[in-house]
A and B are shown apart, each in its own frame.
Chain A
């Protein structure tokens, strides 16, 4: 019966639905983009490796000025003792340098690290081997190339055993990493790993930039972080050290992106609201136009709540049909955006369920006023109306 009433007024029904269609498809698309971005970044963080604690001097936070590092390899040894397992601790010294093969030159991040790096970070090799303890101890001039560096310098040629010149010093290539993409804008494929001892001499620095600790499980992260920070603070009274865990990073990023998704969803929600006001208006017009029909139905025995129900069902039907169309458009739009742009889109069931629920809710909410007006019509006045 309600469907029939909608069919009778096709154009108007379509116009009414339009607002809801736009609103719902906007919800689905924007939530898909927000969720997609969040998943992508979370994927990057997880891709680093698992249960990592990054120890850096000073305070970590948005806008915090970078602190001059006072940590050196003795501190790394100290942290190793604190942690109890040397294999769970690694180190990084970073510097941007040019890397040259013949006439080909690329700019790369030179990272001095040690043989424990692969225990903690996820850095699969495509060829060759990782840095070894001997490489570090004897300060060998050997390098493991990031995928992009290897590609640019050697193309398809196997780089293992070949020479590269880093900051004017010749190194032998012992390994080539798989491509791992970027994390937080850090292009890890543009890194070149060399022994930390070699790096310190090359750069002319006795400091290190950071220490990474790998916990053996999620439960160990927090106590381990606490031990490392307390240990270093005890060693250098009056100085601050920060240890960031992936969980913290995920939490921060997650809340920022969650907020973003929320804002997007709110914008979409507003358009849904506007659609709802449209539904309300058009239902009111419809009630006015159908006054005689309402009067007749009442004369024939329809109670107030029958009329209320009829108009509410019409409103809900209108918005849920609009909702379904909006969901289809939203899913289609998300897939299209994903296909045509680098923006990742993740369609989530909850956003679809939410959009559907909200559109039905909009129908009820905005249908109530017109439906009540219809239900309260005096049958005699309604019948006399022309």
Chain B
């Protein structure tokens, strides 16, 4: 066993499959994936383009439901939850970072970051205060009122990380977070994610097709053709 950590895993997948049906043709994006990711881990999901990484991440993030197999998030079988239950789980337990940032274009950084708290019913003043602290944590205290269009790509992705953080999730799922960034900004974003993991103990699951990015994580799960090919722990990354 690679994992000795005690307690309920953050994610436990057993034989997950996901097929898409496109005009009668079935595409098997995932063909039976089993894994466990524990709280506080730092994991990179690596694989070539089209191998099913994003599909896996969407399943882990409860954005999508598996075609078959079982997924437990924090011990709870997601198949027992309805859509509203999944939405609540996403809101409370998971933070997302996307390749293309996915910020609301005409909304200030502060309000973008505060958005998850809206769906948690947090009052406006507290929302803004928590959003401000999250932005400070990613080094954007001076950009609170800026709109995405007024910020660099690196800054936008840091806003997105702040938004992922603001609700104090147990896990941050990042799909190609550096994919749209130059290497300097990419490194900065990776640094913030690493900090998050080490300093706050948040599990970070990173999806990437870039080897160097993957090596920043302690554990690498290699995906190919919808299957896990290899699951390795390298000494270099954080925990």
Q: Which B residues fall within an 8 A CB radius of A?
A: 58, 61, 63-64, 83-84, 87-88, 90-92, 96, 98, 102, 104, 106-107, 115-116, 118-120, 163, 167
Q: How far is the CB of B217 from chain A (nearest CB, A)?
A: 22
Partner of A300, one of B83, B84, B116: B116
The verdict on A299 contacting B88 (CB below 8 Å), with A293-B104, A380-B64 known, is no
Q: Mark A316-355, 1 if CB is under 8 A from B, else 0.
A: 0000000000000000000000000000000000000000
Which listed residue (A8, A306, A379) contacts B119, Cβ 8 A? A306
Is there contact, CB below 8 Å, between A4 and B107? yes
Are A305 and B163 in contact, with the CB atoms below 8 A? no
13 pairs of residues in contact across A and B, judged by CB atoms under 8 Å: A299-B90, A299-B96, A300-B90, A300-B115, A301-B91, A301-B119, A303-B84, A303-B119, A305-B84, A306-B87, A378-B64, A379-B64, A383-B102
Give the residues in chain B near A304, CB-CB below 8 Å: 83-84, 87
Is A167 at the interface (CB under 8 A from chain B)?
no
Closest to B104 in A: A293
Contact of B96 among A4, A293, A300 (CB under 8 A): A300
Which residues on A sit within 8 Å (CB–CB) of B115?
297, 300
**When chains A and B are docked, how far (Å) is the Cα of A305 from the Cα of B116?**
15
User: Hey, which chain B residues are within 8 Å of A306, CB to CB?
Assistant: 87, 119
Known A4-B107, A8-B106; judge A302-B119 contact (CB<8 A): yes
A54 on the B face (CB < 8 A): no
**Contact yes or no, B92 A296, CB < 8 A:** no
**A298 within 8 Å of B (CB atoms):** yes
Q: Which residue of A lies closest to B64 (CB)?
A: A380
Please name 12 further chain A to chain B contacts, defined as beta carbons within 8 Å, in addition to the given A296-B102, A301-B87, sorted by A numbering. A4-B107, A293-B104, A297-B119, A298-B87, A300-B91, A302-B119, A303-B87, A304-B84, A306-B119, A379-B64, A380-B58, A383-B102
Minimal beta-carbon separation of B71 from chain A (angstroms): 15
A292 within 8 A of B: yes
Task: Return chain B residues, CB-CB under 8 Å to A293.
Answer: 104
Please indicate the chain B residues that have their CB under 8 angstroms from the CB of A383 in the complex: 63, 98, 102
Contacts of B120 in A (CB 8 A): 301
Tally of contacts, chain A with chain B, CB under 8 A: 56
Nearest CB to that of B58 among chain A residues?
Answer: A380
B-chain residues with CB within 8 Å of residue A305 when the two chains form the complex:
84
**Closest-CB distance, B168 to chain A (whole angstroms):** 13
B-chain residues with CB within 8 Å of residue A4 when the two chains form the complex: 106-107
- Distance A295 CA – B91 CA, assembled complex (angstroms): 13
**Among B96, B119, B163: residue with most chain A CB under 10 A:** B119
- B116 (CB) vs chain A CBs: closest residue: A300
CB-contact partner of A301 in B64, B98, B116, under 8 A? B116
Q: Closest Cβ of chain A: how far from B34's Cβ, in Å?
A: 21
Q: Which residues of A contact B87 (CB under 8 A)?
A: 298, 301-304, 306
CA distance A305 to B84 in the complex (A): 9
Residue of A nearest to B85 (CB): A303
Contacts of A8 in B (CB 8 A): 106
| Contact across chains for A379 and B106 when beta carbons are under 8 A apart | no
Q: How far is the CB of A3 from chain B (nearest CB, A)?
A: 12
Which residues of chain A are near B98, meaning CB under 8 Å? Answer: 383
- In the complex, how many angstroms separate the beta carbon of B136 from the nearest chain A beta carbon? 20
Chain B residue nearest to A1 in the complex (CB): B118
Q: How far is the CB of A9 from chain B (nearest CB, A)?
A: 9
Residue on A with the closest CB to B106? A8
Query: In whole angstroms, how far apart are the Cα atoms of A292 and B107 in the complex?
Result: 15
Decide: B63 and A299 in contact? CB cutoff 8 A: yes
Residue of B nearest to A293 (CB): B104
**Given A379-B63, A380-B63, A383-B98, A300 and B88 touching (CB < 8 A)?**
no
Q: Which parts of A82-101 form the interface with B (CB within 8 Å)? A: none
Assuming the contacts A8-B106, A383-B102, asked whether A301 and B92 have C-beta atoms less than 8 A apart, the reply is yes
- B58 neighbours in A (Cβ, 8 Å): 380
A239, B209: Cα distance in complex, Å: 105
A300 and B163 form a contact (CB under 8 A): yes
A303 close to B116 (CB less than 8 A): no
Kindly provide the distance from the CB of B126 to the nearest chain A CB, expressed in whole angstroms.
16
Q: Which residues of A contact B83 (CB under 8 A)?
A: 303-304
In angstroms, how far is the closest chain A Cβ from the Cβ of B176? 13
Chain B hits for A298, CB < 8 A = 63, 87
Which B residues are in CB contact (< 8 Å) with A299? 61, 63, 90, 96, 102
Chain A residues closer than 8 Å to B91, beta-carbon distance: 300-301
Contacts of B61 in A (CB 8 A): 299
Q: A300-B90, A300-B91 are in contact. Are A292 and B102 (CB under 8 A)?
A: yes
Task: Give min CB distance, A8 to chain B, whole Å.
Answer: 5
Using A4-B107, A293-B104, A383-B98 as known contacts, say yes or no to A301 and B90 having CB atoms under 8 A apart. yes
Q: Looking across the interface, which residue of chain A has its beta carbon closest to that of B59?
A: A380
Contact between chains at B104 and A296 (CB < 8 Å): yes
Q: Mark A345-386, 1 if CB is under 8 A from B, else 0.
A: 000000000000000000000000000000000111001000
Render A1-15 as a binary contact track against B, CB cut-off 8 A, 1 for contact. Answer: 100100010000000
